[in-house]
């Protein structure tokens, strides 16, 4: 007599876009949907921005990455399950995860509340799998609540490009009415111009060529400076000198050329990442007491501030969307520099 076997329970799986080794490109695989451990939640990903910093994972430029790894640190979704000990976050709650993917809470900076500069900072998509997948696990210290007035595709880029520009500007020396220049009208710059306008600054947008002039003014710039047709620093001085120049374009030469456009006590805020040196003489900084300040992203609390301000003020990213399965095309589009202006992956139910 034949023995009846119990049916094997079906394992729930998800689609994942992973990098198996540096430079190998994207691989679409199916994995078992993971369960969250203590202090973690599982997020059903609705959208994930494709950021230039994803190159660190794709090309292995960040030391110590363990492969295979799933990139993505502009994640917007819904909590699908909570791990043991999680009480402040609930199933069904809309959340996002940005660059700041957690901190150790023990280093000198964390003990002083400076979580942004944690010496053992965890980065989503680098230290653990990010948002290029249908479900992901995240520690609760990485979560930011998404307000109802923002869609998932709008919220995703605000968790990196948005928080970086918003946070840099609000921590700068500029006050309402001051002249603030934004170098670059791109993925970071198009958001920076909007934030600067909503903060009440007189906004000067600086870019190469005249083709971005109409868009820059539509976004909120009162002045557009074509750096190929004129010396941008001189044009800023004609306006009285910039209190702040927010350098979003990753071009160190262009940043160097703008330092003389700062007014007294002016500040060059650098958020565009480049490996080339910024060239400046001591006298350029001494005369007028000028400074150069770098700024990197922010904490989940800063992300929530950015999202709420964007919801209230109407600041929105300009985006192009791709399905998860087209992640390689989306990444290529972003790397080409031709996207207008942020690329976002969306999940298909």
Residues 22 and 123 in one domain: yes
Residues 280 and 303 in one domain: no
Question: What's the CATH code of the domain at 276?
Answer: 3.40.50.720
Residues 219 and 253 in one domain: yes
pLDDT in tens, 108-152: 999 999 999 999 999 999 999 999 999 999 999 999 999 999 999
pLDDT at 11 (0 to 100): 73
Q: What is the pTM of this model?
A: 0.94
Residues 194 and 136 in one domain: no
Residues in the chain, total: 349
Residues 290 and 320 in one domain: no
pLDDT in tens, 25-42: 999 999 999 999 999 999
3-state helix, strand, coil in the chain (%, to 5): 30, 25, 45
pLDDT at 286 (0 to 100): 97
Peptide bond into 85 cis (omega under 30): no
* Structural domain count of the chain: 2
Ranges in the chain, pLDDT < 50: 8
| Domain boundary, last residue among 294, 313, 336 | 294
Whether 259 and 233 have beta carbons less than 8 Å apart is answered as yes
pLDDT at 349 (0 to 100): 60
Whether 130 and 65 have beta carbons less than 8 Å apart is answered as no
pLDDT at 10 (0 to 100): 67
Residues 17 and 156 in one domain: yes
Question: What's the CATH code of the domain at 63?
Answer: 3.90.180.10
pLDDT in tens, 275-293: 899 999 999 999 999 999 9
Residues 146 and 252 in one domain: no
Residues 184 and 132 in one domain: no
Residues 181 and 141 in one domain: no
pLDDT at 315 (0 to 100): 98
pLDDT at 57 (0 to 100): 98
The domain in which residue 72 lies consists of 13-160+298-346
Peptide bond into 68 cis (omega under 30): yes
């Amino acid at each position: 007599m034949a023995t009846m076997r119990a049916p094997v329970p079906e394992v729930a799986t998800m689609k994942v876009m992973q990098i198996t080794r540096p430079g190998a490109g994207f691989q679409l695989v199916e994995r078992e949907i993971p369960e969250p451990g203590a202090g973690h939640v599982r997020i059903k990903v609705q959208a994930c921005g494709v950021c230039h910093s994803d190159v660190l994972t794709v090309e292995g430029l960040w030391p110590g990455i363990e492969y295979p790894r799933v990139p993505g640190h502009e994640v917007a979704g819904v909590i699908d399950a909570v791990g043991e000990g999680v009480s402040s976050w609930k199933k069904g709650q809309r959340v996002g995860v940005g660059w700041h993917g957690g901190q150790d809470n023990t280093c000198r900076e964390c003990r002083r509340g400076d979580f942004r500069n944690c010496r053992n900072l965890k980065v989503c998509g680098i230290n653990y799998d990010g948002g290029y997948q249908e479900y992901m696990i995240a520690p609760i210290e990485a979560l930011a609540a998404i307000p109802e007035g923002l869609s998932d595709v709008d919220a995703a880029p605000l968790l990196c490009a948005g928080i970086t520009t918003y946070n840099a500007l609000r921590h700068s020396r500029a006050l309402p009415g001051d002249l603030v220049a934004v170098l670059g009208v791109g993925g970071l710059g198009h958001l920076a111009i909007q934030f600067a306008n909503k903060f009440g600054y007189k906004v000067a947008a600086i870019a190469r060529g005249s083709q971005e002039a109409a868009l820059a003014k539509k976004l909120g710039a009162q002045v557009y400076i074509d750096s190929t047709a004129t010396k941008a620093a001189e044009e800023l001085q004609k306006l009285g000198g910039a209190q702040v120049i927010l350098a979003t374009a990753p071009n160190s030469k262009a940043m160097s050329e703008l330092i003389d456009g700062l007014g007294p006590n002016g500040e060059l805020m650098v958020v565009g990442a480049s490996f080339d040196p910024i060239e400046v003489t001591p006298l350029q900084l001494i005369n007028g007491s000028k400074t150069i300040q770098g700024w990197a992203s922010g904490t989940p609390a800063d992300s929530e501030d950015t999202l709420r301000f964007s919801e209230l003020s109407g600041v929105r990213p300009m985006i192009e969307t791709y399905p998860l399965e087209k992640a390689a095309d989306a990444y290529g589009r972003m790397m080409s520099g031709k996207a207008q202006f942020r690329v976002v992956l969306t999940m298909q139910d």
